[in-house]
């Protein structure tokens, strides 16, 4: 019987962010569940938006035991699910993510940036948001075909929901939990794109804190791994399947 695989999208995306990956998975191995996170897609209006609420949503949707994979913001949520219910998460796959901003001054700056952007978001159309978001240096080098598909997914959101999510579960507002990463005793796979230098650095932090983790860097890819390298990412998700 296939293992349940829960896939969590990043900020600004929806469950459709995993569309390029799903056909590449071995469906004899995995049966995917792909929810929207609060403030996004079909859950744009769900309140309150909190990490605890997102964790509760995932645990309510999943069976007693499952594999969990999260991308970017979804990876931060996934880690908190695994910390809250380690007996249920058989394996954890972390894609282009981190355990938060450890430096206090850097975090204060990020909170201020998130607040300013959330204010701007509430005045934007969803098309204006999509154009702004895709133009960030973090996403430089996204292949045109992947970018066109990605924009369609961004447009499935509502700026008000995204602003609320940014204020509640954005990178700045999240308390860092690097000191708890060692509690992730289940099998862990960490994946980053080679062009995504910041998150390659985070991958190395996981390697130091989780000696049992498998850490992979995908050549030629940036931050948007589910859309930029779906075949390679699906292979890594399947590679460590729990028997």
pLDDT digits (tens, 9 = 90+) for 185-231: 999 999 999 999 999 999 999 999 999 999 999 999 999 999 999 99
What pLDDT does 241 receive?
Answer: 62
Q: Please compute the mean of the pLDDT values over residues 137-162 and round it to a whole number.
A: 96
For 145, half-sphere exposure in the C-beta direction (CA atoms, 13 angstrom radius) is 6
pLDDT exceeds cutoff 70 at 128 = yes
Bridge-based pairing state of the strands 66-71 and 89-95: parallel
What pLDDT does 242 receive?
Answer: 55
pLDDT exceeds cutoff 60 at 122 = yes
* CA–CA separation, 43 and 59 (whole Å): 16
Using alpha carbons, select from 232, 184, 228 the residue that is nearest to residue 10.
228
pLDDT tens-place string over residues 81-110? 999 999 999 999 999 999 999 999 999 999
pLDDT exceeds cutoff 80 at 150 = yes
What pLDDT does 6 receive?
Answer: 98
The boundaries of the domain holding residue 91 are 3-239
Q: Please compute the mean of the pLDDT values over residues 111-129 and round it to a whole number.
A: 96
Structure tokens at 60: 């309510």
Number of domains forming the structure of the chain? 1
| 3-state SS class at 221 | coil
Q: Please compute the mean of the pLDDT values over residues 32-56 and round it to a whole number.
A: 98
DSSP assignment, residue 47? S
What pLDDT does 243 receive?
Answer: 52
- Predicted confidence band at 1 (pLDDT cuts at 50, 70, 90)? confident
- Poorest-pLDDT segment among 90-99, 134-143, 213-222, 233-242: 233-242
Q: Which residues pair with 193 in a beta bridge?
A: 218
Share of the chain above pLDDT 70, in %: 98
CATH of the domain at 222: 3.40.50.1820
pLDDT tens-place string over residues 168-189? 999 998 999 999 999 999 999 9
What pLDDT does 164 receive?
Answer: 98
């Amino acid at each position: 019987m296939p293992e349940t695989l829960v896939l969590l999208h990043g900020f600004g995306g929806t469950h459709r962010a995993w569309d390029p990956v799903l056909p590449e998975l071995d469906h004899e191995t995995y049966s995917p569940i792909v929810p929207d996170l609060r403030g996004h897609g079909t859950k744009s209006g769900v309140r309150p938006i909190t990490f605890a609420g997102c964790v509760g949503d995932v645990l309510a949707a999943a069976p007693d035991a499952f594999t969990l994979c999260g991308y970017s913001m979804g990876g931060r949520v996934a880690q908190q699910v695994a910390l809250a219910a380690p007996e249920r998460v058989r394996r954890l796959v972390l894609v282009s993510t981190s355990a938060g901003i450890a430096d206090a001054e850097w975090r204060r700056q990020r909170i201020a940036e998130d607040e300013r952007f959330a204010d701007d978001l509430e005045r934007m159309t969803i098309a204006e948001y999509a154009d702004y978001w895709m133009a960030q240096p973090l996403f430089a080098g996204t292949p045109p075909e992947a970018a066109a598909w990605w924009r369609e997914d961004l447009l499935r959101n509502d700026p008000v929901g995204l602003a609320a999510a940014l204020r509640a579960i954005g990178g700045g507002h999240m308390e860092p939990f690097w000191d708890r990463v060692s509690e992730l005793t289940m099998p862990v796979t960490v994946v980053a794109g080679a062009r995504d230098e910041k998150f390659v650095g985070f991958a190395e932090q996981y390697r130091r804190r989780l000696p049992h983790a498998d850490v992979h860097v995908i050549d030629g890819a940036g931050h948007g791994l589910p859309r930029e390298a779906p075949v390679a990412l699906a292979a890594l998700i399947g590679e460590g399947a729990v028997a």
